[in-house]
Amino acid sequence: MAVNGGNPAEYSHFSRSVIDSIERWSGVIHRRRRFTPAAQIVKVNLGSGLQVAPGWINVDGSLRTLAAGHSPFVIGLVYRFLTDHQNLSRDEFVALLSKNTFVHYDLKYGVPLPDSSADFIFTSHSLHHLYRDKAQALLADALRVLKAGGTIRIAVPNLEYIFSLYQRGEREHALKYFFYPSEPRNQLSWRHYQYDFELMRQMLEGAGYDKVRRCAYRQGRTPDLELLDNRPHETLFVEADKPLEARDELDRAAATL
Ligand SMILES: C[S@@+](CC[C@H](N)C(=O)[O-])C[C@H]1O[C@@H](n2cnc3c(N)ncnc32)[C@H](O)[C@@H]1O
């Protein structure tokens, strides 16, 4: 399945800023939405882009995901104007957005699902696109959404790998993880932080998770990793669980009655 692109270099600064404004306002308008899952085992992919697996609820703030569920004509228009065409044909793009579940949502507002509703939450190469305080808030909200004993898996560029590039003289390559050329660029693709395992462990434990562990590529408790994990050489993979004894706020309120 294709790795996310969607940043065509041919966009002018004007058209890029129009698309960014629509995405931002659509995020504001939809910030209170809640998706009620029907499946027994609920799996949520945050910042999915187009890197999806069957049966998952894919949450993304890109305008492409806003087209999901619409007619092939509308999805085709989005393909024509909002993708770089490098990874998928038009038909593949239409099929992907028609057959999978997408929720258009800005993750800076949290996770658009009810309390204790998800068994697995997965997020790959997306958390570092949020400012660190927003990423911390997102992890806390993901804990709210997970069922007790549920698992979160986070994949992010590995800061240790980036520094190792620099140390072995690959300066330009290392610096690309922090800085960009001046050409128009989707606001959702700006990187706002980078993490190593220790930082990620602190964030997860700070949010209330336990059993924080570093995982190998496509190894872990999370299902469908053969479809979801990508970029093995540059990525830090971490899993953590919602404590079994953790009780959501409703449980706590009920216990005090
Ligand atoms: C680099 S892509 C990663 C896509 C995919 N998860 C993968 O592993 O290849 C980052 C994705 O995060 C999404 N994203 C970034 N910031 C977001 C935000 N604030 N809310 C929702 N989605 C966001 C982007 O739209 C994009 O699809």
Pick from 122, 143, 133, 154: nearest CA to 46: 122
Confidence (pLDDT) at 172: 96
- Probe ligand 1: pick from 139, 158, 188, max atoms within 8 Å of CB? 188
- Probe ligand 1: pick from 16, 60, 86, 227, max atoms within 8 Å of CB? 60
Residue nearest to atom 16 of ligand 1 (CA): 188
Confidence (pLDDT) at 196: 98
Residue 2 belongs to some domain of the structure: no
- Probe ligand 1: pick from 129, 136, 139, 222, max atoms within 8 Å of CB? 129
Confidence (pLDDT) at 115: 97
Q: Return the H-helix or E-strand segment holding 205.
A: helix 197-207
Ligand 1 atom at shortest distance from the alpha carbon of 47: 12
Please indicate whether residue 231, judged by its CB atom, sits closer than 6 Å to ligand 1: no
Residue 229 belongs to some domain of the structure: yes
Please indicate whether residue 49, judged by its CB atom, sits closer than 6 Å to ligand 1: yes
**Alpha carbon of 158 to those of 194, 207, 209, 248, 252: distances in Å?**
7, 20, 20, 32, 37
pLDDT in tens, the chain (257 residues): 333 444 444 667 788 888 888 888 888 998 999 999 988 999 999 999 999 999 999 999 998 888 998 999 999 998 888 777 778 899 999 999 999 999 999 999 999 999 999 999 999 999 999 999 999 999 999 999 999 999 999 999 999 999 999 999 999 999 999 998 888 788 888 999 999 999 999 999 999 999 999 999 999 999 999 999 999 999 999 999 999 975 555 565 556 65
Helix axis angle, 72-82 relative to 90-99, nearest 10°? Answer: 120
Residue 3 belongs to some domain of the structure: no
**Alpha carbon of 59 to those of 27, 45, 159: distances in Å?**
12, 6, 25
Residue 164 belongs to some domain of the structure: yes
Please indicate whether residue 61, judged by its CB atom, sits closer than 6 Å to ligand 1: yes
Residue 5 belongs to some domain of the structure: no
Confidence (pLDDT) at 8: 47
What are the φ/ψ torsions at residue 106 (nearest 5 degrees)?
-90, 115
Helix (H, G, I), strand (E, B) or coil at 186: coil
Pick from 190, 94, 178: nearest CA to 134: 190
Confidence (pLDDT) at 211: 98
Residue nearest to atom 27 of ligand 1 (CA): 49
Cα separation, 209 vs 29, in Å, equals: 30
The residue behind tokens 């890109």 is 62
Q: Strand 57-60 relative to strand 101-104: parallel, antiparallel, unpaired?
A: parallel
Residue 127 belongs to some domain of the structure: yes
Please give the model's pTM, rounded to 2 decimal places. Answer: 0.90
Residue 8 belongs to some domain of the structure: no
Domain ranges, residue 138: 13-256
Confidence (pLDDT) at 7: 47
Confidence (pLDDT) at 256: 61
Cα separation, 61 vs 195, in Å, equals: 22
Q: Return the H-helix or E-strand segment holding 59.
A: strand 57-60
Ligand 1 atom at shortest distance from the alpha carbon of 107: 20
Confidence (pLDDT) at 2: 36
Residue 248 belongs to some domain of the structure: yes
Q: How many domains does the chain have?
A: 1
Q: What is the CATH number of the domain that holds 54?
A: 3.40.50.150
Which residues does 193 contact at the CB level (< 8 Å), separation at least 6?
127, 128, 130, 131, 132, 135
State the amino acid at position 228 in one-letter form. Answer: L
Please indicate whether residue 230, judged by its CB atom, sits closer than 6 Å to ligand 1: yes
Confidence (pLDDT) at 255: 61
Please indicate whether residue 4, judged by its CB atom, sits closer than 6 Å to ligand 1: yes
Please indicate whether residue 123, judged by its CB atom, sits closer than 6 Å to ligand 1: no
Helix axis angle, 132-145 relative to 197-207, nearest 10°? Answer: 50
Confidence (pLDDT) at 186: 84
